Amino acid sequence: MGLTLTEKILKAHMVDGEFKKGSEIGIRIDQTLTQDATGTMAYLEFEAMGIPRVRTEKSVAYIDHNTLQSGFENADDHRFIGSVAKKHGIYFSRPGNGICHQVHLERFGIPGKTLIGSDSHTPTGGGLGMIAIGAGGLDVAVAMGGGAYYITCPKIVKVHLTGKLSPWVAAKDVILEVLKRLSVKGGVGKVIEYCGEGVKTLSVPERATITNMGAELGATTSIFPSDEVTLEFLKAQKREADWTPLSADSDAVYDEIVEIDLASVEPAAACPHSPDNVKPLSEIGNMKIDQVCIGSCTNSSLLDMLKVAYILKGKTVHPDVSLSIAPGSKQVLNMLAQNGALGILIDAGARILESACGPCIGMGQSPNSKGISLRTFNRNFEGRSGTKDGQIYLVSPEVAAISALTGVLTDPRTLGDMPKFELPKEFVINDNMVVPPASEEEAKSVEILRGPNIKPFPKTAPLLDKIECKCSLKVGDNITTDHIMPAGAKILPLRSNIPAISKFCFTVCDEQFPERAEKLGQSIIVGGANYGQGSSREHAALAPLHLGVKAVLVKSFARIHRSNLINAGILPLTFANENDYDKINEGDDLVIENLTESVKSGKDIILKNKTQNAEIVCKCDLTDRTKAIILAGGLLSYTKENI
Ligand code: MIC
Ligand code: SF4
């Protein structure tokens, strides 16, 4: 029986476990990446492990999220990360060099390698044929120290692509189609592998758009083969030596098959407030818009920008629309400047932003009240833009650009013939904003620069045998990490300060939560299905930890958030019977006894609701490794014990 591409790479990297669907496997990690909003914590954790030098083939620290410096905090964090990188053997991509995923694709990703990153959109690397996975900062810290990364051995979905995209229909429309079919929960526990004749028609940046937004399916990752198109891209980046051809065997067996004829894909938009709320433009109609934002790790490649420039050439942005454009990397921005496209964008009235995440993470460009904003990004969760009642639609750069001119949502196919857009034979290469680490000898004298906003990792304690506390919060389905630990320009500077950031925990859902939880001292949170979807931010576990949350009981979890809870030593429980969700309300008095024994034996855990006089059976599916982590009070304590 042949192998899928995913199986080939995973098997070649296995260091622990048995390759059996659904069981836990440990894989060796070749490369890591961090960004600044999660990086400070990851490096504090790495320091706490006491390992002097990273043990990966390549680790890169990027500064791209917290680039709005409205106080000392972000700049201090950048300096801290820069100094840690220098000392511990990590490459440092300075602010201005671009968005981590775009730069990593251009300059560092290698087909067939494994990459984990403290950002949920790390699967962008799948566009180059990598197994690239988003993870919590602590998992990345462990991988930097040479430790394995653990995942559930995934089911593998084949997305069989045939045909060719019609003019003005984009890779973004393909991933929107996949999201429409599979939903934001549809990829949990799965790797999405793209195959078929249609693959050849997509360039590496287009493939990367698709694997990037595969994160919104809840998938472990997504991957494309490494073929001639990959070679062309790497050649143009002067990295052909990094190329290896990779594909699935023709008789590989998949768990699920999705067929997509690229020729039948239509321009679409993900409507508020979920990336899977996808409708064809024809169904939404000529909606009047207020804002257009082009950029983010999903759609900020040179090819995307060249298409936008072609559409905007010689025209002016509609008077009722604000258009912002953030090219994804210094390489992209530089090439736009050199070939004149930047002048076209400026001429048309675009507000050019630095190469960074910017509006995607609510760092500026929040829309007006009830404003309708078309964005080429990957997430449109409520409030994420910084405007609570903002209406965010996720679209391709083509849709964004033409609509910016007309002032209404517009189908780009009305542009008529499309010229051939091709990647350059050679990209402009200048890695002068990537600082290499100091040599082992020099590293000894490198001083770590710590600002006053950088507070240590919160204290953890071994698992309690009895939890007796109240339910401090009850929430519904599809709670995102943007609900649990909101981002935005005001809160992001506190990412290195857990006590301070905790004051904003869950405030999107309930303003009083942080104060209430802190007063209670200990508590349990109750939620619905797909709890914790979205970001890899471990702050969504560390803030509840700081506020005394001992367990989270839900219908189901999103993958990265569940791992982050375990890593923080918070018990992740699920209802054995989902209807029991109705048997708990906020404020109820709850008791769980004999926890140590139940966790060790893997038996069901009984939660008594004293207020409602009910017994609720809870599941806590843990492997031997995750049991040990929970018992130790989190991954940091566990790693220290096991080093
Ligand atoms: C996001 O897109 O939500 C982020 C901001 O990039 C996060 C990381 C973070 O919260 O710092 C992610 O995707 O993991
Ligand atoms: Fe940055 Fe947005 Fe990409 Fe997250 S999704 S890495 S915030 S550009």
pLDDT digits (tens, 9 = 90+) for 514-554: 999 999 999 999 999 999 999 999 999 999 999 999 999 99
Average pLDDT in the 318-324 region?
Answer: 98
Order of all β-strands in the sheet with 434-435:
131-134, 114-117, 31-34, 58-62, 91-93, 434-435
- Closest-lying ligand 2 atom to the alpha carbon of residue 378: 5
Amino acid at 42: A
Roughly what angle, to the nearest 10 degrees, separates helices 341-348 and 302-312? 50
* Beta-ladder partners of 32: 59, 116
Determine the average pLDDT of the residues in 318-328. Answer: 98
Statement: residue 335 has pLDDT above 70: yes
Question: 390 C-alpha vs ligand 2 centroid, how far in Å?
Answer: 18
Residue 574: name the closest of 558, 589, 594 by CA. Answer: 558
The percentage of the chain sitting over the pLDDT mark of 70, rounded to a whole number, equals 100
Lowest mean pLDDT among 383-387, 429-433, 456-460: 456-460
Q: How far is the CA of 67 from the centre of ligand 1 (A)?
A: 14
How high does pLDDT run on average in the chain? 97
CA of 179 to the centre of ligand 1 (A): 19
Structure tokens belonging to residue 264: 């039948």
Say what the alpha-carbon torsion angle 259, 125, 67, 45 is, to the nearest 10 degrees: 120
Give CA–CA dist 607/489, Å, rounded.
39
For a ligand 1 pocket test, name from 33, 34, 38, 377 the mutation site with the most ligand atoms within 8 angstroms of its C-beta. 38
Quick check: 597 pLDDT over 90?
yes
Give just the sign of the alpha carbon dihedral 540, 543, 549, 550: positive
Q: How far is the CA of 490 from the centre of ligand 2 (A)?
A: 17
Q: Quickly list H helices, 523-620.
A: 539-546, 559-567, 595-601
Instruction: Name the band, by pLDDT with cuts 50, 70 and 90, for residue 643.
Output: low
Q: Which two tokens stand for residue 29?
A: 């990690």
> Exposed/middle/buried for 255, CB within 10 Å: 0-12, 13-18, 19+?
middle
Distance CA 106, CA 125 (A): 10
pLDDT at 83: 98
Known catalytic residues are 64-65, 119, 379, 535, 537
Residue 590 clears pLDDT 80, i.e. is over it: yes
User: Does the structure show a pLDDT above 80 at 223?
Assistant: yes
pLDDT of residue 1: 86
pLDDT value for 513: 98
**Interior/surface letters 556-586, b for 16+ CB within 10 angstroms, e for the rest:** bbbbbbbbbbbbbbbbbbbbeeeebbebbeb
Position 404 scores a pLDDT of 99
**Binding pocket residue ranges, ligand 1, CB within 6 Å:** 37-38, 65, 119-121, 134, 361, 379, 487, 534-537
- The residue contributing the CA closest to ligand 1 atom 9 is 537
Q: What is the mean pLDDT of residues 178-193?
A: 98
Ligand 2 residue neighbourhood (C-beta within 6 Å): 65, 99, 119, 121, 296-297, 357, 360-361, 377-378
Atom of ligand 1 nearest to the CA of 495: 11
Name the CA radius of gyration of the chain, rounded.
Answer: 24
Mean pLDDT of 432-440: 98
User: 3-class SS at 558?
Assistant: coil
Q: One-letter amino acid identity for 423? A: L
Cα–Cα separations (whole angstroms), residue 263 to 163, 267, 308, 390, 515? 6, 11, 22, 33, 54
Ligand 2 atom 7, closest CA: 361
Cis peptide before 539 (omega within 30 of 0): no
Beta-bridge mates of residue 34: 61
Whole-number Å distance between alpha carbons of 336 and 409: 26
Q: What angle do CA 445, 84, 446 make, to 5 degrees?
A: 10
Tell whether the model's pLDDT for residue 80 goes beyond 70. Answer: yes
Residue 16's pLDDT is 97
CA atoms of 132 and 218, how far apart (whole Å): 14
- Report pLDDT for 102: 98
Q: Looking at residues 293-311, what average pLDDT do you find?
A: 98
Largest Cα separation within the chain, whole Å, is 72
